[in-house]
Amino acid sequence: MGRRQVPHWYDGKMLAGWLVVPVVLGLSLALFRPLLERAPTVEANEVMLASPAPIDGKRAYGYLKQICEIGPRTAGSEANTRQRKLVRDHFAKKGAKVREQPFRAVHPVTGEPLVMANLIGSWNPERLSRVVIGAHYDTRPHPDQEVDPNRHKLPFIGANDGASGVALLMEFANHLTDLETPWGVDLVLFDGEELVFGNDPKVGDYFLGSEEFARVYNDLVEGGRTRMRYAYGFVLDMVGGRNLQINQEPNSVRAAPDLVREVWAVARSLGARSFRPQRGREVLDDHLALNRAGIPTIDVIDFDYPYWHKADDLPENCSAESLAEVGRVVTAWLALPRRRARR
């Protein structure tokens, strides 16, 4: 997870970028306003009808361990490619239409070109009203939050910060063919979320994959080359830690207040106690690029995970129960009855 809470330290580039987010987000929302007003809605009393998919937390945790066994999975690496193939094959086996979205970047240290790719698995691809659920699948190059220089040199496995979101998408894939939902659903793995070396000075960039995904979507919409629209989006980040605590992220509340309200209402109806009805810290994450593209998107994240960017972000510090609870809430929201859905 390459993002930082706000306010906090950043370099000048990140600060300048953050200052323009409200302006760009406002312009994007204005551009897409007619589309958003046509998005299906749900009445408050219908939240009680939410019926989650039979999410298997142990199986999701097994996926998490399988991913971590690959080792560190930095953007552009062979291990990163192996992970993408693992998920691509899984999505295809579970009935998705799968495609990759390649793009290029430059390694921030060596200057070498990097070939990177987002992975998109689509269920019910013929549906015009869609929901995108994304997670980044790269890991940070080093456990930069370690104070001890020797521990800073240890591998960063990223069990929660990376693998947990991917594992949950893999678990969703087991259910989307049979899930009764009015939406078309795209599960997306974002590459290059944190191709960053060090903190001070920071060398590298964040959110490369989500920005590419948003750029392509914008080009299709503005060029009139698709009738498909994303009505809502989710970013799942650090959703597998023990003692999970998911607060309402402020940027999500501002950009997608209806979605926040519905998701936390669903969580309350399911007794999902990890979804806490209070504001958390502002977070820079992949949801910002999607919101700038006019997709009301929330960041489902536990930013109080004690092993954030540390060498002990390992499977034993994650929980099958946490994965299951997040999975139940998201799939129950997907199954809510809707009106005016465009098919």
Residue 27 predicted with pLDDT over 80:
no
Residue 58 predicted with pLDDT over 80:
yes
Q: What is the pLDDT of residue 87?
A: 98
> Closest by alpha carbon to 239, among 296, 319, 180, 294?
319
Helix (H) or strand (E) holding 96: none
**pLDDT, tens digit (0-9, with 9 covering 90-100), for 139-153:** 999 999 999 989 988
Q: What is the pLDDT of residue 202?
A: 84
Cα 181 from Cα 335, distance rounded (Å): 5
Edge-first strand order for the sheet with 184-190 is 97-106, 113-123, 184-190, 129-136, 229-237, 297-301
Q: What is the pLDDT of residue 291?
A: 98
Least confident of 43-47, 209-213, 216-220, 307-311: 43-47
Least confident of 8-12, 214-218, 255-259: 8-12
Per-domain residue ranges for the chain? 5-334
Mean pLDDT of 206-220: 97
Q: Are 272 and 329 in contact (CB under 8 A)?
A: yes
Among 3.30.470.20, 3.40.50.720, 3.40.50.1370, 3.40.630.10, name the CATH number for the domain at 5-334.
Answer: 3.40.630.10
Q: Are 140 and 303 in contact (CB under 8 A)?
A: no
Q: Are 280 and 303 in contact (CB under 8 A)?
A: yes
Residue 35 predicted with pLDDT over 60:
no
Mean pLDDT of the chain: 89
> Closest by alpha carbon to 234, among 139, 334, 304?
334
Burial status of residue 65 (CB atoms within 10 A of its CB: 0-12, 13-18, 19 or more): middle
Q: What is the pLDDT of residue 18?
A: 39
CA geometry: angle 8, 243, 275, nearest 5 deg: 75
Residue 206 predicted with pLDDT over 80:
yes
Q: What is the pLDDT of residue 42?
A: 61
Cα 151 from Cα 110, distance rounded (Å): 23
Residue 39 predicted with pLDDT over 60:
no
Structural Rg of the chain based on CA atoms: 19
Burial status of residue 254 (CB atoms within 10 A of its CB: 0-12, 13-18, 19 or more): middle
Question: Residue 232 corresponds to which tokens in the numbers above?
Answer: 């809502």
Amino acid at residue number 341: A
Q: What is the pLDDT of residue 29?
A: 46
Helix (H) or strand (E) holding 57: helix 57-68
- When pLDDT is cut at 50, 70 and 90, the band that residue 44 belongs to is low
- When pLDDT is cut at 50, 70 and 90, the band that residue 13 belongs to is very low
- When pLDDT is cut at 50, 70 and 90, the band that residue 60 belongs to is very high
Q: What is the pLDDT of residue 132?
A: 98
Q: What is the pLDDT of residue 198?
A: 80
Burial status of residue 166 (CB atoms within 10 A of its CB: 0-12, 13-18, 19 or more): buried
- When pLDDT is cut at 50, 70 and 90, the band that residue 43 belongs to is low
Q: What is the pLDDT of residue 200?
A: 73
**pLDDT, tens digit (0-9, with 9 covering 90-100), for 288-341:** 999 999 999 999 999 999 999 999 999 999 999 999 999 999 999 999 987 544
Share of the chain above pLDDT 70, in %: 84
- When pLDDT is cut at 50, 70 and 90, the band that residue 343 belongs to is very low
Segments in 174-280 forming alpha helices (H):
208-222, 250-255, 257-270
Least confident of 14-18, 176-180, 226-230, 272-276: 14-18
Residue 84 predicted with pLDDT over 90:
yes
